[in-house]
A = this chain, B = another copy of it.
């Protein structure tokens, strides 16, 4: 994946040379810290790849790419407060390392920094970029609110869950790609196809995440198997299980929520999921979105090949079960 590395390196270079003011240090130190914690930088890479489809260089699209990456990091800082997460990328979260007030305010500044990057794009493209970015930012907040609302709800449907992950995580992938298409000054059809590719890819990716948590190879996934089950987290798996379970299975699932023996809790949950063919149902839904993503990608009319994006999509779904 040499081409991917080239994009990744360009993004890293931009982030490493990105300079926050020195003062007030309580505002900017957390941002210097958080922005260099790493991450796949998948979103800004999508923007660069998308712009390249229409003959633009990485330099043409770097500010749009940074807009998406800065926004993504802002949303992580604020989400970590709301989720009371102690760690992010195996390091302390901002509200843990500093405090909640500093995490709120430095998050706010990072959000403006995203808009500042957007304002560095060519002037005639800014209005369109701004409309797309605003809509996306609002949707991401709506998705986060839905996710929080789900915690106290017992009747979340799989449709609602998919809508939540569409808003919370997938529209930003769509936005990253469409921003590249705006920089590329292509037609509305191509813009819309790239957006659609990103959204469906994002949904498929999130479902895969849910699946890997329980069915992934622990060595390759790099975290404890069944973590979502142990935390009683709402995932597509647990929601589908609840929808399809008979009354006896429902009762068992309900009892397992308070089970203290971890390995028993996981094995018994897996047993019911097996009876209900949950893994297969989730894979079907994942593949449906993956296929929709590929269909959207094939509709793009461009002189450059969309081969890189196809390669990226395949790469993302090569995580082993």
Binding site for B on A (CB under 8 A): 24, 26-27, 78, 81-82, 100-102, 104-105, 108-109, 111-113, 115-116, 118-119, 123, 126-127, 130-131, 134, 137-138, 141-142, 144-146, 148-149
- Chain B residue at smallest Cβ distance from A78: B104
List residues of chain B with CB within 8 A of the CB of A81. Answer: 101, 104
Taking the full assembly, how many copies of this chain does it contain?
A: 2
Q: List 5 A-B contacts (CB under 8 A).
A: A24-B145, A78-B105, A112-B137, A123-B127, A126-B126
| Given A115-B115, A130-B130, 15 new contacts (CB under 8 A) | A24-B142, A24-B149, A26-B149, A27-B141, A78-B105, A81-B104, A82-B104, A104-B104, A108-B108, A109-B138, A109-B142, A111-B111, A116-B138, A119-B134, A126-B127
Cα distance, A113 to B105, chains bound together (Å): 18
**How far, in Å, is A23 (CB) from chain B's closest CB?**
8
Q: Do A108 and B105 contact each other (CB < 8 Å), given the known contacts A27-B141, A134-B116?
A: no
**How far, in Å, is A179 (CB) from chain B's closest CB?**
15
**How far, in Å, is A129 (CB) from chain B's closest CB?**
10
Cα distance, A134 to B78, chains bound together (Å): 19
- Asked if A119 and B112 sit within 8 Å, CB to CB, the answer is no
- Chain B residue at smallest Cβ distance from A101: B82
Which residue, A27, A111, A127, A137, has most C-beta atoms of chain B within 10 A? Answer: A127
- Asked if A141 and B105 sit within 8 Å, CB to CB, the answer is yes
- Asked if A108 and B109 sit within 8 Å, CB to CB, the answer is no
List residues of chain B with CB within 8 A of the CB of A100. Answer: 100
Cα distance, A108 to B111, chains bound together (Å): 9
